[in-house]
């Protein structure tokens, strides 16, 4: 059995408390979660930030991309995650189509995440004019925003697919510009996804907000992975930056297969899995 981190009583993390810890050199840990059991596991493991990511569209709801998931579906997932956490900061992804139209739409969506799901913050993708305008509007409404630049899955088609970003001079400058623009717009933190480690090392010193990497090397303030990826719950090809720490899907499959075999053979249920009638009740019933 692997050792669990020592836990001390602490309050729920906040953007300022996380910024202070990052400034002190402490690495921040963020994972995705989409339901109550996963949130409980992340909480017990001592995770700092739990992201209710729109990746739940694929790994939890079975969509072929993040684009189809609705705000109502995200809110159902987020409510379950909130109920499963006590100290981790809960961040909810704004799904595609729920914030792009106007600042008013973005604020209304974010307010629903906070009021209905209990989110501590929201996250949105991009560093262009639209994205930074939405970040300003949401933060002005009093809701913390986490930014996300580099590979942005909601608009991956426009970026040429799910591949590393910032590998040319022009592309690297664009990622750097986006990161600084998101910071200037008021985001409390920033996800850097699928960019060269050297580029992240250039961006990080220019930021005064915590940078969370996913496929961005180690010269950042913390890391995030999709829970299903790190636990081995997904099938098929995994991104280069994914490290699997368990093989939960194999264990689940083996357990279900063993159950099915025993049902078919008659080995389950055994007498110890049933309930007995008190003495005399069966005789009285039959009589």
Collapsing DSSP to helix, strand or coil, 178 comes out as helix
Helix (H) or strand (E) holding 148: strand 145-150
Asked about 193 being catalytic, the answer comes back as: yes
Q: Decide: 55 and 35 in contact? Cβ < 8 Å.
A: no
Catalytic member of 73, 193, 235, 286: 193
What is the Cα–Cα distance from 209 to 23, expressed in whole angstroms? 9
Peptide bond into 269 cis (omega under 30): yes
Dump the DSSP string for 31-89.
Answer: EE--SHHHHHHHHHTT-SEEEE-TTHHHHTT--SSSTT--HHHHHHHHHHHHHT-SSSE
- Give the separation between CA 221 and CA 56, rounded to whole angstroms: 24
CB-based contact 200:149 (threshold 8 Å): no
| Residues designated catalytic | 193
């Amino acid at each position: 059995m692997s050792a669990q981190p020592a836990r001390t009583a602490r309050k729920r993390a906040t953007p300022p408390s996380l910024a202070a810890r990052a400034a002190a050199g402490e690495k921040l840990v963020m994972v995705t979660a989409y339901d109550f059991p996963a949130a409980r596991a992340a909480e017990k493991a001592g995770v700092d930030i739990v992201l209710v990511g729109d990746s739940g569209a694929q790994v939890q709801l079975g969509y072929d991309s993040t684009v189809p998931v609705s705000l109502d579906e995200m809110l159902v997932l987020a409510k379950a995650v909130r109920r499963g956490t006590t100290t981790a900061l809960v961040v909810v992804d704004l799904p595609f189509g729920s914030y792009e139209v106007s600042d008013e739409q973005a604020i209304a969506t974010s307010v629903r995440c906070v009021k209905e799901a209990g989110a501590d913050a929201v996250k949105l993708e991009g560093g262009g004019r639209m994205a930074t305008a939405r970040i300003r509007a949401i933060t002005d409404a009093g809701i913390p925003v986490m930014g996300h630049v580099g590979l942005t899955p909601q608009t991956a088609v426009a970026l040429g697919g799910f591949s590393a970003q910032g590998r040319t001079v022009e592309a690297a400058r664009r990622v750097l510009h986006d990161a600084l623009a998101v910071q200037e717009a008021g985001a409390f933190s920033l996800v850097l996804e699928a960019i060269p480690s050297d580029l992240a090392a250039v961006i990080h010193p220019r930021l005064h907000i915590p940078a969370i990497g996913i496929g961005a090397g180690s010269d950042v303030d913390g890391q995030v992975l999709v829970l299903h990826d790190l636990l081995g719950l997904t099938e098929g090809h995994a991104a280069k930056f994914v490290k699997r720490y368990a093989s939960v899907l194999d264990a689940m499959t083996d357990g279900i297969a063993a159950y099915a075999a025993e049902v078919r053979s008659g080995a389950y249920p055994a007498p110890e899995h049933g309930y007995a009638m008190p003495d005399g009740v069966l005789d009285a019933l039959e009589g």
